[in-house]
């Protein structure tokens, strides 16, 4: 059938001519109705042009014979579940239960065999009908078009699964089923060859192969394809980051503000500035990014068509056709999709873009987890910034915003490199390393970095700290060599509570402490597992030691880890810790209160850290348990207070 002839099957409203009468059928399960009719109603109601491809060409002679409309009526009254039954049961069942309800219908198919009846195609399996529908769609003007095609699940699989509600794990056909499939689709494989299940590829000179290659050439080549001639982006000079290595000189700022300052400087860099894509789904002003409105503008393909309410302010909301910020509104899925587009532009367009997507961390992986996994699978390269991160850093907004698990979720994605830095120099080192690894060295990774909105002073970077920052931990403060000693690990905003706990231990109980800043428990675990695997596969060679283990070897004393995340986040490195290991974290729901009260509630403040350290020393027999009881009383801790995870 020629396309023009096949297109005549379509009515003036884009409806297939032999479409059955519409039925409501929306009560009960889907099998009790006609889903194609429901979809048509939705799309037509929204102003779309609807084309339905329901019946294949084998039904055309019967419809031509249907002078009184009995066949069309019968088509309309049968629901989807029954049509599925016809597919499974075969020709004799179709003859009896579909056509057999009326003598005239039964007479229509008296010259057809049961096998012919069972092979009558639905419209979605008829190439000419589908082509005609597409031809009508591309030539329609004035509204979008949707094609609704009726198909059969497992079409062509015959007894092994056609039209059946079988398990998704159905993977193989037996020899008879393979023969049926071969015959149904006219594949030139003999009965003798069929048992070997050979792969069939048409000859290069066959019309099918020539057509496929012509179409692929017209479409720009084969897919999937990846650009390989990508120019690396040279990592920005050290001078951009030097101010962050020096600390904030007594000024109190949040790590979020530090990030915005780093981003602002990168945007001004002549080498990489034009490639940077800042993305914000919401709350740009909360993140302190309003200065970028004036500097680089918000992208709008039509420019700004209105005068913003804050037009008289220095940092007014400015949309521009040349804008660089993507401001997606309250649409995390859309914003993340924009991030993926920028993060994969290197392989799709041969141009590296550097997306920085900042959002409330609570609205990150748990809200767009499938997209994050898809982005990882597509080898995205870029930065995700979880703003106002941690369970206790954003006081007053409770369950809605308080994040205690995003780093746990980040750990599930193999090529996601995640960090929870506390200080400006840590953030600067991590971002600089990410730029180098992704855009200069072409590593297929992406970064998740949490930043907080709590203001505090940022010290200068200690000597030789850079390697440890990137590996996941470094010694921030040595405690000396006294007999009573603990090692305190802290991350994010809780690192400052850990430092304070170290002072309390020394001042009130004569216990010294080494304080370690842990920038990534996830990276520490990956290193530990990698070393563990190497040792297993190289039993005759000298065993390697994980970075965690080698860092903490030495003084035999307890190790106490405290974070603003669930205990499992820090607990994941337990097997690599030499000696006793105690973990504090923020298991439970978020709640609205001050930071101090939230940290007391979740038992991660300086007082609970001190008590945990003393209890670990007592368990090792180094101090009497009375010292622990003394601390509980001294710091006004209620031993009978409910477990936070139960409240």
Query: What is the spatial distance between Cα 127 and Cα 138, in angstroms, rounded to a whole number?
Result: 16
- Is residue 299 a part of any domain in this protein? no
Domain with residue 285: its CATH number is 3.40.50.970
In a domain, 317, yes or no: no
Residue 229: the pLDDT is 79
Distances 507 to 488, 499, 501, 512, 585 between C-alpha atoms, Å? 16, 13, 10, 9, 24
| Whether residue 436 is found in the same domain as residue 484 | no
3-state SS, residue 345: helix
Domain around 361? 238-289+325-457
Beta strand extents in 16-57 (DSSP E only): 49-53
pLDDT along the chain (647 residues), means of 10: 39 37 41 89 97 95 94 92 87 94 94 92 94 97 96 75 60 76 84 85 92 90 77 88 94 93 92 92 70 78 80 72 85 93 92 92 86 96 92 76 92 97 98 96 96 94 97 95 92 96 97 98 98 98 97 92 98 96 95 92 98 97 97 97 95
Q: Do residues 170 and 124 share a domain?
A: yes
Can you tell me which residue has the tokens 């071969």? 182
Query: What's the token pair of residue 64?
Result: 């031509």
Beta bridge partners of 360: 387
Which DSSP helix (H) or strand (E) runs through 470?
Answer: helix 466-471
Per-residue CA distances from 631 to 258, 503, 608, 628 (Å) = 37, 14, 9, 5
Bin 215: left if φ > 0, else alpha if -120 < ψ < 50, else beta.
alpha
Asked whether residue 427 is domain-assigned, the answer is yes
- Domain stops at, among 431, 457, 483: 457
Residues 489 and 366 in one domain: no
What pLDDT, on the 0 to 100 scale, is given for residue 9?
A: 42
User: 522 is written with which tokens?
Assistant: 């996830």
What's the longest Cα–Cα distance across the chain?
A: 102
In a domain, residue 318? The reply is: no
Looking at residue 277, the DSSP 8-state letter turns out to be E
| Gyration radius from the chain CA atoms | 33
Residue 516 lies in a domain: yes
CATH number, domain of 524, equals 3.40.50.920
Q: Are the beta carbons of 635 and 610 closer than 8 angstroms?
A: yes
425 touches 244 (CB < 8 A): yes
- In this structure, the answer to whether residues 175 and 266 fall within a common structural domain is no
DSSP summary character for residue 205: T
Rounded Cα gap, residues 386 and 10, in angstroms: 52
Residues 93, 195, single domain; the answer is: yes
Residues 150 and 92 in one domain: yes
Neighbours of 500 (CB within 10 A): 16
Residue 224 belongs to some domain of the structure: no
Q: How far apart are CA 369 and CA 486, in angstroms?
A: 38
Round to whole Å and give the CA distance between 102 and 108.
10
Same domain, 385 and 346: yes
Six-digit token string for 153: 């699940």
Q: If 0-12 CB within 10 Å is exposed, 13-18 middle and 19+ buried, where does residue 467 land?
A: exposed
Q: Are 375 and 336 in contact (CB under 8 A)?
A: yes
Look up residue 257 and give its two tokens. 């503000």
58 within domain boundaries: yes
CA angle 337, 341, 347 (to 5 degrees): 145
Give ∠ CA 583-584-590 in degrees, rounded to 5. Answer: 145
Q: What is the pLDDT of residue 88?
A: 84
Q: What is the pLDDT of residue 171?
A: 61
In-domain check, residue 177: yes
Same domain, 453 and 593: no
Total number of domains in the chain: 3
Whether the model pTM is above 0.85: no
The answer on 599 and 492 residing in a single domain is: yes
Looking at the fold, whether 399 and 280 belong to one and the same domain comes out as: yes
Q: Are residues 196 and 90 in the same domain?
A: yes
343 and 246 in a common domain = yes
- Return all residues near 428 (Cβ < 8 A) that are at least 6 apart: 241, 244, 245, 258, 262
Distance CA 127, CA 604 (A): 65
639, 637, 392, 617: which is closest to 505 by C-alpha?
A: 617
Paired strand residues for 358: 385
Which residues have C-beta within 8 Å of that of residue 462, sequence separation ≥ 6? 474, 475, 476
Q: Tell which of 457, 491, 512 closes a domain.
A: 457
DSSP class per residue in 508-569: HH--EEEEEEES-HHHHHHHHHHHHHHHHH-TTSPPP--HHHHHH-SS---EEEE-SS-HHH
How many C-beta atoms surround the C-beta of residue 420 within 10 A? 33
Tokens 């622990």 belong to 628
**Residue whose entry in the numeric block shows the structure tokens 């298991």:** 587
pLDDT at site 415: 98
């Amino acid at each position: 059938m020629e396309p023009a002839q096949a297109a005549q099957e379509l009515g003036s409203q884009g409806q297939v001519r032999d479409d059955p009468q519409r039925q409501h059928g929306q009560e009960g399960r889907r099998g009790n109705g006609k889903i194609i009719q429901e979809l048509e109603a939705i799309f037509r109601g929204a102003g779309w042009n609807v084309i339905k491809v329901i019946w294949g060409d084998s039904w055309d002679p019967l419809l031509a014979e249907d002078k009184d409309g009995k066949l069309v009526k019968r088509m309309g009254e049968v629901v989807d579940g029954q049509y599925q039954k016809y597919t499974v049961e075969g020709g004799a069942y179709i003859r009896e239960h579909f056509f057999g309800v009326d003598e005239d219908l039964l007479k229509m198919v008296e010259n057809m065999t049961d096998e012919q009846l069972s092979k009558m195609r639905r419209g979605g399996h008829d190439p000419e009908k589908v082509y005609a529908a597409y031809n009508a769609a591309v030539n329609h003007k004035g509204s979008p078009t949707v094609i609704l095609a009726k198909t059969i699940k497992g079409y062509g699989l015959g007894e092994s699964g056609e039209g059946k509600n079988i398990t998704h794990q159905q993977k193989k056909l037996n020899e008879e089923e393979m023969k049926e499939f071969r015959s149904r689709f006219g594949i030139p494989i003999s009965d003798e060859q069929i048992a070997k299940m050979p792969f069939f590829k048409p000859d290069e000179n066959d019309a099918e192969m020539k057509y496929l290659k012509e179409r692929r050439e017209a479409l720009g080549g084969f897919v999937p394809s990846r650009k390989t001639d990508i120019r690396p982006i040279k990592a920005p000079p050290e001078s951009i980051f030097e101010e962050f290595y020096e600390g904030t000189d007594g000024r109190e700022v949040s790590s979020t503000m530090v990030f915005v300052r780093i981003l602002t400087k990168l945007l001004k860099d002549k080498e990489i500035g034009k490639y940077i894509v800042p993305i914000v789904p919401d709350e740009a002003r909360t993140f302190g990014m309003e200065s970028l409105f004036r500097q680089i503008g918000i992208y709008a393909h039509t420019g700004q068509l209105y005068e913003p309410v804050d037009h008289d302010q220095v940092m007014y909301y400015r949309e521009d056709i040349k804008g660089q910020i993507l401001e997606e509104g309250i649409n995390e899925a859309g914003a993340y999709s924009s991030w993926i587009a920028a993060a994969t532009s290197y392989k799709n367009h041969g141009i590296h873009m550097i997306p920085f997507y900042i959002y409330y961390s609570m609205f990150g992986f748990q809200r767009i987890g499938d997209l994050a996994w898809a982005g990882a699978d597509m080898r995205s390269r870029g930065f995700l910034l979880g703003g106002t991160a941690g369970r206790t850093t954003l006081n007053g907004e409770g369950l809605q915003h308080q994040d205690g698990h995003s780093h746990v979720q980040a750990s599930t994605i193999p090529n996601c490199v995640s960090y929870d830095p506390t200080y400006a120099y840590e953030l600067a080192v991590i971002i600089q390393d990410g730029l180098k690894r992704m855009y200069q060295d072409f590593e297929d990774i992406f970064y998740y970095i949490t930043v907080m909105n709590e203001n505090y002073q940022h010290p200068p970077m200690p000597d030789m700290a850079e390697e440890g920052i990137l590996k996941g931990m470094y010694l921030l403060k040595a405690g000396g060599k006294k007999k009573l000693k603990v090692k305190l690990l802290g991350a994010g905003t809780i690192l400052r509570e850990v430092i304070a706990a170290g002072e309390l231990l020394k001042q009130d109980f004569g216990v010294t402490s080494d304080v370690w800043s842990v920038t990534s428990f996830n990276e520490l675990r990956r290193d530990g597992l990698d070393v563990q695997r190497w040792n297993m596969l190289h039993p005759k060679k000298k065993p390697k030691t994980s970075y965690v283990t080698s860092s903490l070897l030495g003084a035999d004393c307890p190790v106490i880890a405290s974070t603003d995340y669930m205990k499992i986040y820090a607990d994941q490195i337990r097997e690599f810790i030499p000696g006793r290991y105690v973990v504090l974290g923020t298991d439970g729901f978020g709640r609205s209160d001050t930071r101090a009260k939230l940290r007391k509630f979740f038992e991660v403040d300086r007082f609970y850290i001190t008590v945990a350290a003393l209890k670990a020393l007592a368990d090792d027999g180094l101090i009497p348990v009375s010292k622990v009881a003394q601390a509980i009383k001294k710091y006004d801790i209620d031993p009978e207070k409910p477990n936070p995870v139960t409240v």
